[in-house]
């Protein structure tokens, strides 16, 4: 299939720059094979059934965007320049890979000074590699103090990150640090909604996929079969696998909350069952993919020509997704990370 098969025109005014308040007040487009229903997220208590299981990604977003000063010894004092790093991945040796801005201002050996945190540039390539002066818990605490949430480019172009984003861009069950982007469908849940769902017999299973910066990379090939998917680290515990398999055996529905949770459980699928799993996944879900675990998906509205548009098209069909998105645009749903949600139920 071609990239153009997943394109659509989106009015700029429908790109959300702040979330709904409260979170669960966001709109929800419910999609079944035979109809569309306009609802809100709190209506999940009427849309889900006892015995259903929601699969939730418990990754925790780190405030990965650091703004500071490059310090380089020079005779004329010209060695100071403003720089920005967006941390993308921790290396086993303790160094961090990052996106540097502007890269042309960085050289090996440069010192980078942030608010209460310093680093040295130790490698340069497609990404810059830095080694911080702190490590372990001390480094985590310093990044928490100095960093800003790495908002997606389409939000960052409209406004800078602020203190509110440190809460808004984090799920209420975030546990394991490592993501540089939020599993955004999960941002619609709050404590009262989770309590109501649990009380009516909906179960929750937690898995971990550390969402990487590659989730925002554009697809640059015309034939989508030529696209190389970015890799992200994930884990499905033995407990999580057993819970999901028990729900399937009992006839309940397994509904992934977010494309990250869906990609992970389909990566760990083995002959129609979920297996314990840990490691990097670069699974690329496109039309024709055979889903083994997920019976449905709750997800936000995605960017044109993105891998996530291909994923939802694989679940619902290419033309149905075009119709769904046309309806969402006509009804002024809010798009992307802080936008509204859809509940996709293909059968």
H-state helical runs in 229-303: 238-249, 259-267
* pLDDT computed for residue 24 by the predictor: 98
Residue found by looking up tokens 């790109």 in the block: 15
Q: Which two tokens stand for residue 58?
A: 């418990």
Q: What is the mean pLDDT of the chain?
A: 95
What is residue 78's predicted lDDT score, i.e. its pLDDT?
Answer: 64
Please identify every stretch of the chain with a pLDDT value under 50, giving residue numbers as ranges: none
Instruction: Using a cut of 0.75, tell me whether the model's pTM lies above it.
Output: yes
Per-residue pLDDT at 230? 84
| Helices then strands, each counted (H, E), the chain | 9, 19
Residue carrying the six token digits 């879900």:
285
pLDDT at position 195: 98
Cα–Cα nearest to 86, from 179, 210, 208, 170:
179
pLDDT at 77: 62
Q: Please write down the HEC assignment for all residues of 158-193.
A: CCCCCCCHHHHCCCCCCCEEEECCCCHHHHHCCHHH
What is the pLDDT, as a whole number, of residue 125? 86
Q: Which of 214, 215, 219 is nearest to 1 (CA)?
A: 219
Domains of the chain plus CATH, in order, are 3-61+165-344 (3.40.1780.10), 65-146 (2.40.10.240)
228-233: long-range contacts at Cβ-Cβ below 8 A with a sequence spacing of 24 or more?
228/282, 229/282, 229/283, 229/284, 229/307, 230/282, 231/280, 231/281, 231/282, 232/260, 232/280, 232/281, 232/282, 233/178, 233/209, 233/279, 233/280, 233/281
Distance CA 246, CA 239 (A): 11
Cα–Cα distance for residue pair 270/284, rounded to 1 Å? 17
**Of all helices (H) and strands (E), which one includes residue 316?**
helix 307-316
Residue 155 belongs to what H/E stretch?
A: helix 153-156
- Please report the pLDDT score of residue 90 as a whole number: 87
What confidence tens digit (pLDDT) does each residue in 86-109 have?
Answer: 999 888 898 999 999 888 889 999
- Upstream peptide bond of 22 is cis (omega within 30 degrees of 0): yes
Q: Which two tokens mark 242?
A: 């057993």
- 245 contacts 274 by C-beta, under 8 angstroms: yes
Among 119, 19, 7, which residue's Cα sits nearest to residue 339?
Answer: 19
Q: Of 324, 17, 37, 20, nearest to 189 (Cα)? A: 20
């Amino acid at each position: 299939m071609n990239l153009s098969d997943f394109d659509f025109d989106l009015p700029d005014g429908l790109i959300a720059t702040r979330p709904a308040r409260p979170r669960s007040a966001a709109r929800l487009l419910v999609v079944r094979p035979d109809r569309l229903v306009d609802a809100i997220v709190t209506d999940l208590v009427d849309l889900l059934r006892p015995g259903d299981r929601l699969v939730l990604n418990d990754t925790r977003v780190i405030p990965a965007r650091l703004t500071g000063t490059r310090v380089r010894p020079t005779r004329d004092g010209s060695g100071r320049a403003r720089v920005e790093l967006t941390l993308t991945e921790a290396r086993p040796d303790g160094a961090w890979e990052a996106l540097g801005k502007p890269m042309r201002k960085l050289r090996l050996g440069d010192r980078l000074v942030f608010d209460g945190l310093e680093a040295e540039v130790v490698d340069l390539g497609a990404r810059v590699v830095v080694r911080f002066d702190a490590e372990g818990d001390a480094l985590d605490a310093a990044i928490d103090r100095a960093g800003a949430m790495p908002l997606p480019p389409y939000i960052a172009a409209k406004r800078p990150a602020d203190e509110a984003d440190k809460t808004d861009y984090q799920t209420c069950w975030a546990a394991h640090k490592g993501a540089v982007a939020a599993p955004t469908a999960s941002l619609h849940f709050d404590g009262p909604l989770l309590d109501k769902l649990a009380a009516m017999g909906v179960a929750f299973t937690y898995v971990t996929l550390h969402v990487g910066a590659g989730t925002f990379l554009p697809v640059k090939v015309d034939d989508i079969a030529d696209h190389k998917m970015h890799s992200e680290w994930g884990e499905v515990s033995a407990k999580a696998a057993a819970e999901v398999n028990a729900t399937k055996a009992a006839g309940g529905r397994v509904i992934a909350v977010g494309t990250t949770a869906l990609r992970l459980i389909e990566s760990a699928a083995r002959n129609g069952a979920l297996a314990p799993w840990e490691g990097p996944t670069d699974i690329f879900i496109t039309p024709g993919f055979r889903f083994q675990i997920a019976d449905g998906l709750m997800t936000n509205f995605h960017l044109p020509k993105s891998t996530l548009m291909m994923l939802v098209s694989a679940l619902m069909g290419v033309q149905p997704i075009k119709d769904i998105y046309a309806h969402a645009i006509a009804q002024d749903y809010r798009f992307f990370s802080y936008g509204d949600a859809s509940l996709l139920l293909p059968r």
